[in-house]
């Protein structure tokens, strides 16, 4: 019968194993002793593979060099539109000069791209570009208006006694008073005509008089903020109308246009100076000949188009720099604009499906002095506006769309969300059913609470907040790329992986945190995604893209401006202190499981007493053969593409804690970590 094992007799220094085969992201916020062993306290230029294992990022390559810093990039169908410096390029061809040298935004509605830079709004069709004002819709603000005056005949009949006759209306002036072919002398007093002698009994007298008429009219459309022109239409029913007044005076020098309906019901254009004259100061138009009666009963038969300088109208739109698309039901048929420095608390929106029409009543005042609208996000069927320096913590204003009985659409405020305020205009992205935005306390998400359905905000970037929040976040630029929320700031890219959620720790009022990664040496000013690839533009006018091919050796170098630069990537294991922190540790064996690459090279380093030391490098043993990555100077035939396990016998003795990192910092070398393990013993008290 086998004897029982007496655990008390096991030597104190029996071998023990530390093994890490499951990895997450970095943790820059926790105390060193609190970092989970699957995370790293320092791991630049690493990213997760499909299973969450850390792998070295690929390098970026120069796509194009522009004059001036990159201020905006817009993927428009098959075209790439670039705003560099003060110029605009379509597929590398300069098409516009004179833009603002600042970050711009763009929105696609229909078949056109609309660009807003805070100086002059532009329209792009993929081939050409022009000012939005030049393409502006011209609204018809009033219909069924009356002429200033009309001529009317009244037939009177004498009775041989009466000298005075009463007209139905007070005339502006008498044209003629005729009895047969004879003109009668009369005196006019208001609406009375007084003859010198009483007309004979049965005598027919025809009075032709001109009568004034109120302009009247029915409101149809609003004036357009980005157009100095508008139209008004008139119904001429007597065939005697010649004089017409517009609703605005002090017309500008722009040409006045007019169209008159002919007998076939078609509108024929008339010419200023030939067919009519214009009194610009009083807004009056006088035709040389009376307008014929409308050939179609009840339909306006005169349209007049005029121009006036509405002070500040165009700049309300032109000076806006931030935009989003939204409409009823969450559609993307209207553009909402904000960021006008003259009106920081006001935003504007265009007509449905027509960004050339910005009715002058389509605006909202969302915040007061000392605050501004930083930007927007779409939250289900609502639009959220983010307010800087909010009063009472009301940092997000939620608006929905409402359609009244007449079909008019409005966007009333539904609610306010209290919480952290957004910090930068380009810090918003919708990913994985959450709206993420950047604040001075990190990345927050707008979520819907399961029970009540009330919306509220939660932090999602606990693991990097300690370092991230020290950056100038008001200058950051954020986008969605694949499953990542990417933040460009301070020469770095921070990546939040929305496919990896941690439910272990984080902000106390947050349900979970995203795993995070950090890329260095990337001076991105703006970011964008094209065909699944990540692109960026910098202050020097360089447009770069991150190489997708992981099998090619040159994928693992940063190349910009004629210079190739190695990518310094490594994974640091959290400080190892064994099972009992105050005992001496002695490491016998270190083992790594590495991802297979054709050009693979890693260096294992350890740290005791604050100093890093090299343990070993591996190259050929962890690489395999691939034609795409052949380096003839180091050519080896090895077709094994399985993950590589390497071990190292070592003697790291009498320490209380030690650090380890696996480094890949040479040009054209790849790296991926699947596992890390130590064999060690503990014995005796640690004495420094």
- Residue 1 confidence (pLDDT) above 50: no
Q: Residue 11's pLDDT is what?
A: 56
Stated as kind and residue range, the H or E segment containing 316 is helix 313-318
**C-beta of residue 284 within 8 angstroms of C-beta of residue 278:** yes
Identify the top-confidence range among 28-42, 381-395, 478-492. Answer: 478-492
- pLDDT over 90, % of the chain: 66
What is the pLDDT at residue 3? 55
Tens digits of residue pLDDT in 171-201: 988 998 988 888 888 889 899 988 988 998 8
Confidence of residue 686 (pLDDT cuts 50, 70, 90): confident
Average pLDDT, the chain: 90
Q: Answer whether residue 643 shows pLDDT above 70.
A: yes
Q: Which tokens sit at 30? A: 């926790």
For 388-398, letters b (16+ CB in 10 Å) and e give bebeeebbbbb
pLDDT band at 637 (very low <50, low <70, confident <90, very high): very low
Q: Render pLDDT for 5-44 as a digit per residue (tens, 0 to 9).
A: 554 555 556 889 999 999 999 999 998 888 999 999 999 9
Q: What is the pLDDT of residues 349-372, one digit of tens each?
A: 999 999 999 999 999 999 988 999
Of 116, 96, 89, the closest CA to residue 105 belongs to: 116
Is residue 624 scored above 80 in pLDDT? no
pLDDT value at position 684? 82
Q: How many other CB atoms are there within 10 angstroms of residue 363's CB atom?
A: 17
Cα 374 to Cα 372: distance, rounded to the nearest angstrom: 6
At residue 47, the pLDDT reads 97
The Cα–Cα gap between 89 and 69 comes to: 13
* Two structure tokens written together for 89: 């390029």
The string of pLDDT tens digits covering residues 256-277 is: 999 999 999 999 999 999 999 9
pLDDT tens-place string over residues 203-230: 898 999 999 999 999 999 999 999 999 9
Query: How many angstroms from the chain centroid is the CA of residue 195?
Result: 77
Region class of 45: left (phi > 0), else alpha (psi between -120 and 50), else beta: left
Q: Binning pLDDT at 50, 70 and 90, where does residue 385 land?
A: very high
- Residues 61-96 pLDDT 10s: 999 999 999 999 999 999 999 999 999 999 999 999
Tens digits of residue pLDDT in 111-162: 999 999 999 999 999 999 999 999 999 999 999 999 999 988 889 989 888 9
Burial class (CB in 10 A: 0-12, 13-18, 19+), 49: middle
* Residue 628 scores a pLDDT above 70: no
**Conformation bin of residue 389: beta by default, left when phi > 0, alpha when psi is -120 to 50:** left
Q: What is the mean pLDDT of residues 601-627?
A: 78
The structure tokens 């032109």 sit at: 318
Tens digit of each residue's pLDDT (9 = 90 or more) over 568-607: 999 999 999 888 888 888 888 999 999 888 778 899 999 9
Q: Give the span between the Cα atoms of 555 and 23, in whole angstroms.
A: 24
Q: Is the pLDDT reported for residue 640 higher than 80?
A: no
pLDDT in tens, 506-517: 677 788 999 999
Residues 67, 687 contacting (CB under 8 angstroms): no
Q: Specify the pTM.
A: 0.88
Distance CA(544)–CA(63), nearest Å, equals 5
Residue 679 has, within 13 A of its CA and on its CB side, a CA count of: 12
Query: With contact defined as beta carbons under 8 Å apart, do 278 and 272 qualify?
Result: yes
Give the number of other Cβ atoms within 10 Å of residue 406's Cβ.
5
- Name the residue with tokens 């190489």: 547
Q: Which CATH class is domain 10-57+567-685?
A: mainly beta
pLDDT in the model for residue 200:
87
Q: pLDDT of 288-346, one tens digit each? A: 999 999 899 889 999 999 999 999 899 999 999 999 999 998 889 999 999 999 999 99
Per-residue confidence (pLDDT) for residue 5, from 0 to 100: 52
Residue 2 confidence class, pLDDT cut points 50, 70, 90: low
Q: Which helix (H) or strand (E) holds 393?
A: none
φ/ψ of 329, rounded to 5, equals 70, 15
- Domain definitions of the chain by residue range: 10-57+567-685, 149-212, 229-307
pLDDT of residue 622: 54
pLDDT tens-digit profile of 432-476? 889 999 999 999 999 876 445 677 789 999 999 999 999 999 999
Q: Is residue 632 over pLDDT 50?
A: no
Q: Residues with Cβ < 8 Å from 562, sequence gap 6 or more?
A: none
């Amino acid at each position: 019968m086998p004897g029982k094992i007496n655990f008390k007799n096991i030597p104190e220094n029996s071998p023990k194993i530390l093994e890490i085969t499951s990895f997450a992201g970095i943790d820059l916020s926790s105390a060193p002793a609190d970092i989970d062993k699957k995370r790293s306290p320092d791991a630049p230029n690493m990213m997760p593979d499909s299973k969450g294992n850390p792998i070295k990022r690929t390098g970026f390559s120069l796509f194009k060099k522009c004059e001036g810093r990159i201020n905006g990039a817009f993927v428009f169908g098959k075209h790439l539109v670039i705003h560099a410096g003060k110029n605009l390029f379509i597929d590398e061809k300069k098409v516009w000069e004179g833009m603002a040298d600042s970050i711009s935004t763009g929105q696609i509605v229909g078949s056109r791209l609309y660009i807003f830079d805070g100086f002059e709004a532009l329209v792009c069709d993929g081939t050409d570009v022009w000012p939005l004002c030049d393409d502006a819709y011209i609204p018809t603000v009033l219909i069924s208006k009356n002429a200033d005056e009309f001529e009317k005949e009244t037939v009177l009949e004498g009775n041989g006694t009466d000298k005075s006759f009463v007209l139905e209306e007070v005339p502006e002036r008498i044209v003629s008073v005729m009895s047969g072919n004879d003109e009668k002398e009369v005196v006019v007093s208001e609406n009375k005509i007084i003859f010198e002698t009483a007309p004979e009994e049965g005598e027919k007298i025809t009075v032709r008089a001109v009568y004034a008429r109120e302009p009247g009219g029915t409101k149809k459309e609003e004036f357009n903020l980005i157009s100095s022109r508008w139209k008004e239409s008139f119904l001429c029913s007597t065939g005697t109308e010649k004089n017409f007044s517009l609703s605005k005076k002090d017309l500008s020098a722009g040409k006045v246009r007019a169209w008159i309906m002919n007998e076939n019901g078609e509108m024929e254009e008339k010419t200023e100076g030939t067919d009519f004259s214009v009194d610009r100061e009083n807004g009056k138009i006088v035709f040389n000949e009376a307008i014929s009666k409308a050939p179609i009963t009840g339909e306006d038969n005169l349209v007049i188009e005029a121009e006036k300088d509405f002070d500040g109208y165009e700049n309300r739109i032109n000076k806006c720099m931030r935009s989003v698309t939204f409409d009823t039901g969450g559609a993307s048929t209207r553009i909402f604009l904000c960021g006008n420095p003259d009106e920081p608390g006001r935003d504007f929106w265009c007509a449905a499906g027509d960004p050339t029409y910005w009715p002058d009543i389509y605006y909202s005042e969302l915040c007061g002095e000392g605050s501004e609208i930083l930007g927007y996000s779409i939250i289900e069927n609502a639009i959220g506006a983010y307010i800087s320096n909010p009063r009472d913590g009301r940092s997000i204003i939620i608006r929905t769309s409402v359609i009244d009985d007449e079909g008019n659409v409005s966007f009333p405020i539904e609610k306010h969300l209290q919480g952290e305020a957004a910090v930068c205009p380009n810090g918003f992205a919708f990913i994985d059913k959450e709206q993420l935005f950047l604040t001075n306390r990190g990345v927050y998400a707008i979520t819907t609470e399961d029970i009540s359905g009330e919306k509220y905000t939660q932090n999602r970037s606990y693991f990097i907040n300690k370092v991230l929040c020290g950056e100038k976040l008001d200058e950051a630029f954020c986008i969605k790329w694949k499953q990542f929320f990417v933040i460009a700031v301070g020469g770095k890219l921070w990546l939040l992986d929305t496919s990896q959620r941690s439910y272990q720790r984080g902000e106390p009022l947050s349900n979970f945190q995203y795993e995070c990664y950090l890329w260095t040496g990337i001076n991105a000013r703006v970011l964008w995604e094209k065909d699944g690839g990540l692109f960026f533009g910098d202050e020097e006018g360089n447009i770069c893209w991150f190489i997708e091919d992981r099998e090619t050796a040159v994928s693992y170098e940063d190349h910009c401006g004629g210079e190739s630069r190695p990518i310094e990537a490594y994974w640091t294991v959290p400080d190892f202190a064994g099972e009992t922190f105050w005992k001496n540790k002695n490491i016998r064996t270190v083992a790594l499981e590495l991802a297979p690459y054709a050009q693979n090279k890693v260096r294992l380093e350890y740290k005791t007493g604050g100093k890093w030391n090299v343990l070993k490098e591996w190259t050929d043993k962890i690489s395999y053969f691939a034609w795409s990555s052949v380096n003839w100077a180091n050519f080896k035939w090895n077709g094994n593409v399985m993950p590589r396990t390497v071990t190292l016998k070592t003697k790291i003795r009498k320490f209380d804690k030690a650090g380890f990192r696996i480094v890949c910092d040479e040009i054209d070398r790849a790296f991926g970590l699947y596992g890390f393990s130590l064999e060690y013993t503990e014995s005796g008290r640690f004495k420094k």
